[in-house]
Amino acid sequence: MIFDYETLKLIWWLFVGVLLVGFAVTDGFDLGIGALLPFLGKNDDERRVIINSVGATWEGNQVWFVTAGGAIFAAWPIVYATAFSGFYIALMLTLFALFFRPVGFDYRNKVTDPRWRSAWDWGLFAGGFVPALIFGVAFGNLLLGVPFSFDNDLRVTYSGSFWQLLNPFGLLAGVISLSMLLMHGSVYLQIRTEGVIAARARRVTRITGAVFILTFILAGVWIMNGIEGYRIVSMLPGNAVATPLDKVVEKAAGAWMGNYNGHPLLWLAPLLGIAGALLAIVASGAKKTIAAFIASSAMLAGVIFTAGIAMFPFIMPSSSDPRSSLTIWDVVSSHKTLQIMFWVVLIFLPIVLAYTSWVYSVLRGKITVETIRDNEHNVY
């Protein structure tokens, strides 16, 4: 099966979206649970229960994170390079926060001193809270446009700063990301725990779900009425853009709504985000934990594709020079590379899904305080 170049560009846009959803669904509840750890666990035994609810699987979930980053590098190398230039400090801050996760899991239980364990609890909190917040802030700034530009030799210049990322809309997007991952983590915690921990997680689900719905709607209204989007005015025939500079782009009010206005069925994406959150709250209250997790996962997919559809075909718009904006037409690898990588994904993605499903089926069941005490030296 050989696809033409334009079709492969669209397929890889979908692939990257699917990988981001996979990362959000799997590693997302790890991040959410880490951020909730100091608050849902009132003593050391309860915190160990919370840690061990993801202790056996969190490393495997990192595969989605690594794969999504690798896919962006393979399919959109210019985006990868430009993003690391523009978001360098934010990405390094995320990376250093993530360092707390492996060492926190492995070293927390080495010493019984409460001060030692409390310090690692807050380290795990940082490893969940900071990435969840920064991922949202980054997405928010993509919708606003990133201050970079290319010269005629395609050398990139970034004219912004880390503090400029912390603008009102970017922070709102950060709250959306943080609240939905906290909700997702609290839903998963209900699957793996019982008693007071599960009860506290249900309360968190209601609170964070409400915050997510309100902020998600607010962000949508803001985008429709207060934020200029980007649209391509002209480009080479057949989307045959040779470089990012071979097109004309303009900023215009309401431009991010163009795809939704032209294709009303696409409104199903934001509706899925809101409906998924509502259903997760209802199912959580009814103690239907698996249904709540499915609904929460649908919420994550809805949010990610809502942003992707609004920006399509843009990946990284430029606020400094709109013509330098990166789209799926002008930043992709060669036709041959996309074709080879297509088959790699088609072969290995089902293997990853099958293995992940098998792992979770083997490790299913509740983690309790009694489980921790009976396996004192074999668990985190």
> What digits encode the pLDDT tens for the residues 147-174?
988 888 788 888 888 888 899 999 999 9
Cα–Cα distance measured from residue 217 to residue 239, given in angstroms and rounded to the nearest whole number: 33
Give mean pLDDT, residues 195-209: 95
Tens-digit pLDDT profile for residues 307-324 = 999 999 999 999 988 988
Query: Left, alpha or beta for 145 (phi > 0: left; psi -120 to 50: alpha)?
Result: left
Instruction: Give the DSSP per-residue string, 180-235.
Output: HHHHHHHHHHHHH--HHHHHHHHHHHHHHHHHHHHHHHHHHHHHHHH-EEEEEEEE
Give mean pLDDT, residues 225-248: 76
Cα–Cα distance measured from residue 75 to residue 85, given in angstroms and rounded to the nearest whole number: 18
Q: What pLDDT does 59 receive?
A: 78
Q: What pLDDT does 240 receive?
A: 52
Lowest mean pLDDT among 167-181, 282-296, 326-340: 326-340
Q: What pLDDT does 110 receive?
A: 87
In the chain, the percentage of residues whose pLDDT exceeds 90 is 49
Q: What pLDDT does 287 receive?
A: 92
Q: Cis link prior to 313 (omega < 30° from 0)?
A: yes
pLDDT at 334 over 60: yes
Highest mean pLDDT (candidates 37-41, 69-73, 87-91, 367-371) = 37-41
Torsion of CA 77, 78, 82, 88, to 10 degrees: 10
373: exposed, middle or buried (C-beta count within 10 Å: 0-12, 13-18, 19+)?
exposed
Tell me the average pLDDT of the chain: 89
Lowest mean pLDDT among 180-184, 264-268, 328-332: 328-332
pLDDT at 241 over 70: no
Give mean pLDDT, residues 236-257: 77
What residue type is 254 in one-letter code? G
Q: What pLDDT does 200 receive?
A: 95
